[in-house]
Amino acid sequence: MGVTVHAHWVFIADGDGDLFGYGDKVMRALLEQERCLDGFVDSAVSADAGRAVMEIEADVSGDDLSHAIAKAHAAVRSALHSAGIGTPDWPTHGEAMSMVLKDLRTEQLV
* Residues 6 or more apart in contact with residue 102 via CB below 8 angstroms: none
Q: Is the pLDDT of residue 105 over 60?
A: no
Q: What's the predicted TM-score (pTM) here? A: 0.86
CATH number at residue 61: 3.30.70
Q: SS3 for 41?
A: strand
pLDDT, tens digit, for every residue of 23-77? Answer: 999 999 999 999 999 999 999 999 999 999 999 999 999 999 999 999 999 999 9
Residue 108 domain flag: no
Residue 12 domain flag: yes
Q: Find the domain containing 67 and state its range.
A: 3-99
Residue 110 domain flag: no
Residue 72 domain flag: yes
Confidence of residue 90 (pLDDT cuts 50, 70, 90): very high
